[in-house]
Structure 1
Amino acid sequence: MSEMDDSINLSTSMCDVEASLLNHNVSFSNSMATSTGELSMPKLSVSLSEAEILKLRSRHPLDEAAPLNTSVFMETSLETVVSQEDEEVQTVGVINIEDTLELTSNDNKVVTGLADSAPLQYFQGRLVELGRRCWTSSAEAQHYTKGCYWSPDGTCLLIPVHIDGMHVIELPTDLYSTSTVQRTRSLTKLQSAVHVPEGGTVYDCVWFPHMNSQQPDTCFWLATRQHEPIHMWDAFDGKLRCSYSGYDAVDEVMAAISLAFSHDGQKIYAGFKRCIKIFDTSRPGRLCDDYPVKFAISCIAQTSTHPNTLTCGNWQGYIQHFDLRCSPKQGPLFTLGGHKGGITQLRYGGNGFGDWHLFSGARKCGKLLQWDMRNYKKPLVEFQRHVDTNQRIHFDFTSDCRWLTSGDTRGALNIWDLREYGEASVLQLHSDCCNGVGINPVLPVLATTSGQYHFIDQCAHKENRTLSISESIVEEAPPDANQQLEVVYENAVVIWWCGQSESK
């Protein structure tokens, strides 16, 4: 028995032995990690001696400080040469386990970043403007941005524009391999690589969490808009791939209010007025699971620690945490208050906060709250920002979870250092509402969007006079019945460099 305990028993049933002789691919899952942090070897049809085990352990030491990333599917091949005539000379070729962490299920290497792996430095100097794109607007059709969303691989930026659909802007190519930029760098003319000219109001949009530009099949995003089902759009050509439809009690299409992917990308969570619909990403159409709720779901967040739970915000100003394994009749596990307006955004802080710290923002509420979901009686920290309208004002984190950024309705960018929890650093970047903030996941690049709906003086509109943001008369226009009133205010997306910069 001692020899059996000291060596790894890799015997299996005869069916497993025959299968292993035909296919030597081994799938490593998170169930192989024991409670002590060691990696238990899978069952194979070979046996190793104690000396060989010690040799393999010396070649592949386990790093206890770096936990196994279970979000990456790991697959490697074990090449064995078994000779019954000469068992003493048999050799076992084992691929380094650390190398398999960078492989996907189809043995393609995952690109983890555009620049080198050096730690990124954020907000250590002045911001450098890299490029700007503006949209014209009129009194009849006001075009204003509604936030910005970086793709998970950091190569492109998604921007919904009111009554102008959605635009995808690519990252300037000179930033792909640089660690610093010149403060006198010439501005890049930002143009739409993809334009989806959908009319109406875009309620929410979200990127596929494993999007990789080197794998075109993964390059897509979901969007929901007024009176339409959920659409999946291709990020290369802007074509419609498929749709996910939610229907009400009278079999009419309902528009989802909020969207979220599961961390593995296999499920889509869609928030509706009275339910949460769960779609299978690989099965478009109307087939889904319904989870009834009492209020309209305005935003959704999920922690990777417990994938069977959802944290949802509603327009009544409450944050509710649901366990999808429980009956809907039991209601939420708990409900959080603290905001005086409807919840507009929820985000978990990630590994930098133990994946249990939730950040929440609301409309017409100047508080941005940080919660510890393990002790949710009251928020840990309150961050102050100016939010005076019902518009969704976005916030975002840096990849190291040190800096928290948010826009406000006065056009300023608020930056908090989460290591010190002091007062915000306020930068006046826009002359109109700064509604969107997005930090590139792999580069020290910041994107901000500005604009909002403006109520136009109808008397001035009838007289065909041009108005500025302060609604003061700028100039008289010649009387022309077909001429539209031009609205002059800032409505743009701007990309900034927030890392190290050089003066020359």
Structure 2
Amino acid sequence: MDAQPTWSAPAYDFAAARPVASTDAGPSFFRSARWTTDGTAILTAGEDRLLSVHDLTHEESGVVGLAQPRTFPQPDSVNAAQWYPSASRLVPETFCFVASVRDAPVRLIDASDGRIRASYPIVDHRERFIAPYSFAFNTAADKLYCGFENAIEVFDIASPGYDTGERLKLGLTRKEKGGQRGIISALAFSAHHPTFAAGSFAGSVVLYDEDTRSAIAHVEGVEGGGVIQIAFHPLDPNVFFVASRRSEAIQPFDLRDTSAPVGRLARSGSTNQRLAFDVDPWGRWLASGDEFGTMRVWDIGSTYDVLFEQKLHGDAVNSVQFHAHQPLLLTCAGSRAHLQASDIEFSSNEDTDSDSDSDDDDVVEQSTVHVKTGAKDSRLAVWSFGQQ
């Protein structure tokens, strides 16, 4: 019988940051990027309606690189995309992800060739497809939770098709007190308790019991203009983190007292776009980029001190994620470009009409206008924090 591989926490040297691989999104930009659990591949969602899978390569010399991506065009904008929890390029049956595309059913897509393995339609009262804004698999990886306006749809992964989902209506009527209103924009499960958290663009965060699916606590003191991400601490069963748009901090909370945050991890995030953070799988650090391209790493094992701070991109950092087994960090950047005066260039060509009957030659100016658009920095990059 083959021995099972044993993993240990990778050793990071935050003074030795260096890029080892990157790829450019061109005129578009990457909205999100995520490793598989074993770090063998990367899933990206682009502003250009593309879902792409980038395989991580290792040469004999030890050099890390990215293979030519497999791109899967989508019919409309992508709201969310997430790997199946045990996805691995080395195990074909697990190598898949779920995607939410506007006006289409939720789809389970094979990451090798882009074929649709299963679909999970969410339909409203007008028989229109609802595309969720957030996904989360439960800890057993047999249920998929999909967040949309005032509700969460729960699917059994093994039972795709119509009328198979269970809808949790969170937005109560005006006569009923409580409830959670707004688009459910963030979902996360605790690995230690039968609990999941839901955040909304209305700015609320509520903790629910997974078994009864009833609310057990409302989180107070969430700042910003709408929740974009929630993550539970992998080792501390009582701590979870909340990030919001138009917020200058990531906020840690304690499950035992949700009346106020227990700390503040400052970052620049006055933008509406999602600036995702990541918690080290081994429970040591939290990493996040900001709207100006600076990446920070905080110590969350004992204090909330900043261990690393450096400008890695020339634009907003949309995603940051630690590799589980190597001292590698994944980042992607980009933002919608707003047209400025400096983005417009004029050039002119002067042609003389020699056949004119006029005493003076007619001068015809043909002007060309060139508009520079696109993100300032639309790279997907892998950074090494290991000893050279």
Q: The TM-score by the shorter chain falls in which range? A: 0.7 to 0.9
Native 8 Å contact 2:298 2:308 kept in 1: yes
Say whether residues 1:303 and 2:181 are aligned partners. no
> What is the aligned partner in structure 1 of residue 72 from structure 2?
196
Say whether residues 1:152 and 2:37 are aligned partners. yes
Taking the TM superposition and a 5 Å limit, the aligned residue runs for 1:96-111 are none
Native 8 Å contact 1:318 1:337 kept in 2: no
Q: Distance in 2 between matches of 1:173 and 1:482?
A: 45
Q: Distance in 2 between matches of 1:277 and 1:477?
A: 58
Q: Which has the higher helix share?
A: 1
> What is the aligned partner in structure 2 of residue 53 from structure 1?
none
Q: Which has the higher strand share?
A: 2
What amino acid is the match of 1:390?
Answer: N
Please report how far the alpha carbon of residue 335 of structure 1 lies from its aligned counterpart in structure 2 after TM superposition: 3.2
Native 8 Å contact 1:200 1:225 kept in 2: yes
Superposed CA deviations along residues 474-499 of structure 1, whole A, max 9, x for unmatched, are 67488799987554621110111112
> What is the aligned partner in structure 2 of residue 440 from structure 1?
323
Native 8 Å contact 1:341 1:362 kept in 2: yes
Q: Distance in 1 between matches of 2:309 and 2:193?
A: 36
What amino acid is the match of 1:382?
Answer: R
Native 8 Å contact 2:233 2:283 kept in 1: yes
> What is the aligned partner in structure 2 of residue 390 from structure 1?
272
What amino acid is the match of 1:170?
Answer: D
Say whether residues 1:260 and 2:136 are aligned partners. yes
> What is the aligned partner in structure 2 of residue 374 from structure 1?
256
Say whether residues 1:421 and 2:298 are aligned partners. no
Q: Distance in 2 between matches of 1:437 and 1:126?
A: 17
SS of residue matched to 1:368: strand
Aligned with residue 223 of structure 1, among 99, 102, 106: 99
Q: Distance in 2 between matches of 1:135 and 1:304?
A: 35
Please report how far the alpha carbon of residue 337 of structure 1 lies from its aligned counterpart in structure 2 after TM superposition: 3.0
Stretches of structure 2 that go unaligned for 5 or more consecutive residues are 172-180, 350-365
Q: TM-score, normalised to structure 2's length?
A: 0.85
Range with greater deviation from structure 2 (430-439 or 207-216): 207-216
Native 8 Å contact 1:209 1:264 kept in 2: no
| Percent identical | 25
Residues 297 and 477 of structure 1: CA distance in aligned 2, closer, same or farther (over 3 Å): farther
> What is the aligned partner in structure 2 of residue 87 from structure 1?
none
Please report how far the alpha carbon of residue 439 of structure 1 lies from its aligned counterpart in structure 2 after TM superposition: 1.0
Native 8 Å contact 1:311 1:319 kept in 2: yes
Residues 477 and 404 of structure 1: CA distance in aligned 2, closer, same or farther (over 3 Å): farther
Residues 283 and 483 of structure 1: CA distance in aligned 2, closer, same or farther (over 3 Å): farther
Q: Distance in 2 between matches of 1:425 and 1:282?
A: 43
Native 8 Å contact 1:111 1:212 kept in 2: no
Q: Distance in 2 between matches of 1:341 and 1:259?
A: 20
Please report how far the alpha carbon of residue 327 of structure 1 lies from its aligned counterpart in structure 2 after TM superposition: 7.2
Q: Distance in 2 between matches of 1:241 and 1:109?
A: 32
Q: Distance in 2 between matches of 1:154 and 1:292?
A: 36
Taking the TM superposition and a 5 Å limit, the aligned residue runs for 1:278-289 are 278-286=154-162, 287-289=164-166
Q: Distance in 2 between matches of 1:327 and 1:173?
A: 44
Native 8 Å contact 1:430 1:490 kept in 2: yes
Please report how far the alpha carbon of residue 259 of structure 1 lies from its aligned counterpart in structure 2 after TM superposition: 0.6
Aligned with residue 202 of structure 2, among 287, 312, 316: 316
> What is the aligned partner in structure 2 of residue 493 from structure 1?
380
What amino acid is the match of 2:134?
Answer: S
Please report how far the alpha carbon of residue 421 of structure 1 lies from its aligned counterpart in structure 2 after TM superposition: 2.1
Please report how far the alpha carbon of residue 222 of structure 1 lies from its aligned counterpart in structure 2 after TM superposition: 0.5
SS of residue matched to 2:30: coil
Taking the TM superposition and a 5 Å limit, the aligned residue runs for 1:344-363 are 344-351=228-235, 353=236, 355-363=237-245
Please report how far the alpha carbon of residue 109 of structure 1 lies from its aligned counterpart in structure 2 after TM superposition: 7.0
Superposed CA deviations along residues 328-384 of structure 1, whole A, max 9, x for unmatched, are 6xx553333321220000001112x2x321011000001101111122222121100
Aligned length: 360
What amino acid is the match of 2:330?
Answer: A
Q: Distance in 2 between matches of 1:196 and 1:260?
A: 22
Native 8 Å contact 1:405 1:416 kept in 2: yes
Aligned with residue 411 of structure 1, among 273, 293, 299: 293
Q: Distance in 2 between matches of 1:443 and 1:409?
A: 27
Stretches of structure 1 that go unaligned for 5 or more consecutive residues are 1-106, 138-142, 179-184, 461-470
Residues 476 and 401 of structure 1: CA distance in aligned 2, closer, same or farther (over 3 Å): farther
Aligned with residue 122 of structure 1, among 2, 9, 12: 12
CA-based RMSD of the aligned residues comes to 2.6
Larger relative contact order (Cα-Cα within 8 Å, sequence gap ≥ 6): 2
Aligned with residue 219 of structure 2, among 298, 322, 335: 335
Residues 488 and 388 of structure 1: CA distance in aligned 2, closer, same or farther (over 3 Å): closer
Aligned with residue 118 of structure 2, among 238, 242, 247: 242
